[in-house]
Amino acid sequence: MATLQIKDLHVEIEGKEILKGVNLTVNSGEVHAIMGPNGTGKSTLASALMGHPKYEVTQGSAQLDGVELFDLEVDERARAGLFLAMQYPAEVPGVTNSDFMRTALNAVSEKEIGLIEFAMRYEKQVEELQMRKDLAHRYLNEGFSGGERKRNEILQLKVLRPKFAVLDEIDSGLDVDALRIVGNNVSELVDDTFGCILITHYQRILDYIKPTNVHIMIDGKIVKSGGAELIQKIDQDGYEWLKSELGIDFETGK
């Protein structure tokens, strides 16, 4: 079993503190959904874990199986077993989708993956995600629709098979059919070798990726954790009930 442990994480961007002491432990086989109003730090958590240079970690730690992620470069974090599915995947003109993924796979693998083995794995995952057959020969995300980009992120996840994935709003921009396909493909990955943090605003993705734990983030902190009952509460009442239950003012975070 693998473990991702985040302790007292504080993160700033351009001198403004966004995360103000996040504590979270995720084990393989678990899906932790993080929900909350806009601007509360959910995407900041994802970017900081993966090493985006704009985000400065000022306090705390994040360890994957005891290895401090913040001591590692971005590529080293990927080799350690961490994956980020981005909210807005970038285009990379001139680099084909298949070349990018084979290079990424070889970068995180102990031995080089041969072309035939890679092609078989790649084509199998493309089929399972019901993606276009010409995908391998297209430049990475260039001309892709929003939904195609999100499926492509999950394609990378399925090809690379990390220990942990941070999925940042993978449901945004997906129609009903694509949401079902993406959700089912992620759900099928969850086992005793893989766990994930799922950042989302909406309940609908959680109909396909069943969370073992649900957390609500307000003003850079996880203020409440529970199970599926929290999803139902949010779906029915939004976040207003937290004002009275926890005594939180959403404007000040206090």
Domain ranges of the chain: 3-88+163-246
Q: Is the pLDDT of residue 118 over 60?
A: yes
Q: What is the pLDDT of residues 56-115, one digit of tens each?
A: 999 999 999 999 999 999 999 999 999 999 877 888 889 999 999 999 999 888 788 889
Chain centroid, CA 124 distance in Å? 22
Report d(CA 101, CA 95) in Å as an integer.
Answer: 10
- pLDDT band, residue 236 (cuts 50/70/90): confident
The type of residue at 198 is L
- The per-residue pLDDT for 157 is 95
Q: Is the pLDDT of residue 254 over 70?
A: no
- The per-residue pLDDT for 78 is 93
Mean pLDDT value of segment 230-240: 87
Q: What is the pLDDT of residues 5-55, one digit of tens each?
A: 999 999 999 999 999 999 999 999 999 999 998 889 999 999 999 999 999
CB 152 within 8 A of CB 160: no
Architecture of domain 3-88+163-246: 3-Layer(aba) Sandwich (3.40)
Report d(CA 60, CA 75) in Å as an integer.
Answer: 21
Q: Return the closest-CA partner of residue 105 out of 169, 164, 157, 179.
A: 157
Tokens 């993080």 sit on residue: 34
Burial of 237 (0-12, 13-18, 19+ CB in 10 A): exposed
Average pLDDT value over all residues in the chain: 91
Report d(CA 196, CA 212) in Å as an integer.
Answer: 10
Answer with the residue of higher pLDDT: 234 or 56: 56
The type of residue at 84 is L
pTM for this model (two decimals):
0.91
Q: What is the pLDDT of residues 156-177, one digit of tens each?
A: 999 999 999 999 999 887 889 9
Q: What is the pLDDT of residues 178-203, one digit of tens each?
A: 999 999 999 999 999 999 999 998 78
The type of residue at 172 is S
Q: Return the closest-CA partner of residue 91 out of 140, 21, 156, 149.
A: 140
- CA–CA distances in Å: residue 65 to residues 107, 110, 164: 20, 18, 11
Q: Is the pLDDT of residue 147 over 90?
A: no
Largest pairwise CA distance in the chain: 59
- The per-residue pLDDT for 253 is 54
Helix (H, G, I), strand (E, B) or coil at 1: coil
Report d(CA 236, CA 23) in Å as an integer.
Answer: 27
> Nearest 5°: CA angle at 210, between 205 and 214?
90
CB 175 within 8 A of CB 138: no
Mean pLDDT value of segment 127-145: 88
Chain centroid, CA 166 distance in Å? 2
Neighbours of 90 (CB within 10 A): 9
Give the DSSP letter of residue 86: -
